[in-house]
Amino acid sequence: MPDVTMPQLGETVADGTVTKWFKNVGDAVVRGEPLFEVSTDKVDTEIPAQVDGILTAILVEEGVTVDVGTKLAVIGGDGTEALVTPKVAAIATESSPPPTGRAVVKASRDTSASPLSPVVRRLLAEHDLHSDLVQGSGPQGRITRDDVLAHVANAQATAPVASPITGLSPVVRRLLSDHRIDPSSVVGTGANGRLTRRDVEAFIENRGKSETSVARGDEVVPFTKRRRLTAEHMVRSKATSAHTLMVKEVDFERVEIVRRSAGASFKEREGFTLTYLPFIAVATLQALRDFPHLNASVGDDELVIHHDLNLGIAVDLDSDGLVVPVVHGADDYSLRSLALKIRDLAANARTKQLTVDDMSNGTFTITNPGPFGTLLTGAIINQPQVAILSTDGVARKPVVVTASDGGESIAIHSVGMLALTFDHRAIDGAYAARFLLRVAEILNTRNWAEDL
């Protein structure tokens, strides 16, 4: 039977947290569809099933952190294997989990001579039961539906009602802690009154509705893991780099003419709008070749200049934090291919399809709040880089235009701000100013129509 193990999501990643199972024990699994979600200190990503079959065992619960290579689940071929839930797996564990909270568990085998019916497998999974615990009354000791129901009824009748505080799974404990909930205030619907994940989630939802209807004061919203990691990264960056902001107003009319003429055909062909971002990215990459000290990182009393141009694009995860996927070798891309690549990376970030490699080795970052009409953004540097460029909103404005004969006139152009936050340890203001001037010149002089 194929084992499902914690994948290696990057060379420096040693462990991961199972944050969600998309399938339950007994469900059919199709190769390529999402099976579970993993969170590391670098990325959250969905892991697809590698084979077809039946999910016969889940050995690691949601919320548990395990080392790379740890067995997480088992996928059987025909569905006749014993079904094992995390609770049963824990009973079969050879030793207690290490004190770090990582779980290494093994599934026990079903010794029943007769296969279990789908109905029986489902009932066993729903009640966290192993087939060894149920006395079978069918032919050759086979377990029937009535056997399982009788076992459950007898256990509920004879066992004392458990305190909802005892026997909590790691994911339930995490939910209670994150939302500061007293477990005794939640009604458990699990076996013997045990709290389940659904019980806590329902309590949180109902509490939120009631608080919204009557509360006028403060609301406490605990940080998610992604929000917490983003916050830590921002604070560390501000403590590390000598942040300095420089802004230049840029005339985007040359770009706007191409967007107006080619935008409709581009959207029809590619399926999305041609924005200013890929134009700015191409101009930035070209300018970085002329100003390599901005494509660098600070070492021990030294500046490490990177010859590869790996462009990071900051992506907002619906206000749940930021990730920065990277276009490796970005200067090898054409305008069209770079627009497609940025679009794909942003979509993968929001659907948790990024790998650690997708977010590694960036050398310069662009953040793009412009679609929201921002005027000026002083972004925080993405460590260990030395600069980040913010592309703010572009709007139609009156500008002074100089003709070839030197005469001046007023025209309506598309104008926006480019804001560069740079590490003053690495470069000085004059170097940053010349870089911004070069980006503006490229945007105003390059033959963008040829790039499309």
25 to each of 21, 94, 152, 345, 406, how far by Cα in Å?
A: 10, 22, 18, 32, 77
Partners of residue 247 on adjacent β-strands? 419
- Please tell me the distance from the alpha carbon of residue 156 to that of residue 145, in angstroms, as a whole number: 17
Q: Single out the residue of 136, 91, 118 nearest to residue 24, CA to CA.
A: 118
User: pLDDT value at position 131?
Assistant: 78
| SS3 of residue 286 by DSSP | helix
Give the angle 230-235-237 at the CA atoms, nearest 5°: 95
CB-based burial label for 368 (10 Å; 0-12, 13-18, 19+): buried
pTM of the full predicted structure? 0.63
The pLDDT of residue 102 is 40
Q: How far apart are the first and last CA of the chain?
A: 51
Catalytic residue among 146, 290, 308, 424: 424
What single-letter DSSP state applies at residue 92? T
Confidence (pLDDT) at 113: 41
pLDDT at 211: 57
Give dist(CA 426, CA 214) in Å, integer: 53
**Start-end of H helices in 36-162:** 86-91, 118-126, 145-158
Other beta carbons less than 10 A from residue 111's beta carbon: 8
* Residue ranges for the chain with pLDDT beneath 70: 1, 10-13, 41-42, 77-115, 118-119, 122, 125-128, 155-167, 170, 191-192, 208-216
Q: Name all domains of the chain by residue range, CATH numbers in brackets.
A: 3-158 (2.40.50.100), 170-214 (4.10.320.10), 227-451 (3.30.559.10)
CA distances from 262 to 258, 396, 451 (A): 6, 19, 11
Residue pair 57/73 in contact by the 8 Å Cβ criterion: yes
How far apart CA 284 and CA 291 sit, in angstroms, is 10
The span from the CA of 351 to the CA of 46, in Å, is 8
Q: Nearest CA to 41 among 16, 64, 4, 72?
A: 16
Run of H or E residues at 47: strand 44-48
| CA–CA dist 184, 162 (Å, integer) | 11
Q: What distance in Å separates the CA atoms of residue 325 and residue 321, rounded to the nearest whole number?
A: 13
* Known catalytic residue at 428: yes
Strand-pair category, 364-367 with 311-313: parallel
Residue of 146, 290, 332, 428 marked active site:
428
For residues 85 and 58, the answer to whether their CB atoms sit within 8 Å is yes
Two structure tokens written together for 178: 């994150």
pLDDT for residue 112? 39
Amino acid at 267: K
Q: What was the pLDDT predicted at 16? A: 84
Query: 149-155 — which CB contacts under 8 Å span 24+ positions?
Result: 149/123, 152/123, 152/127, 152/191, 155/191, 155/192
Res 174: pLDDT: 78
Give the pairing type, strands 326-327 and 408-423: unpaired
Identify which of 323, 257, 312, 322 has the alpha carbon closest to the alpha carbon of residue 288.
Answer: 312
DSSP per-residue letters across 420-435: EEEETTT--HHHHHHH
Alpha-carbon dihedral 336, 333, 438, 245, rounded to 10 degrees: 90
Closest CA to 324 of 353, 358, 285: 358
418 bridge partner residues: 248, 391
Q: What is the per-residue pLDDT for 166? A: 52
Helix (H, G, I), strand (E, B) or coil at 189: coil
Q: How far apart are CA 363 and CA 382, in angstroms?
A: 9
Give dist(CA 357, CA 382) in Å, integer. 16
Taking the C-alpha atoms of residue 16 and residue 63, their distance in angstroms, rounded to an integer, is 10
Provide the token pair at 360: 């590694």
Helix-helix angle 253-270:429-445, to 10 degrees: 60
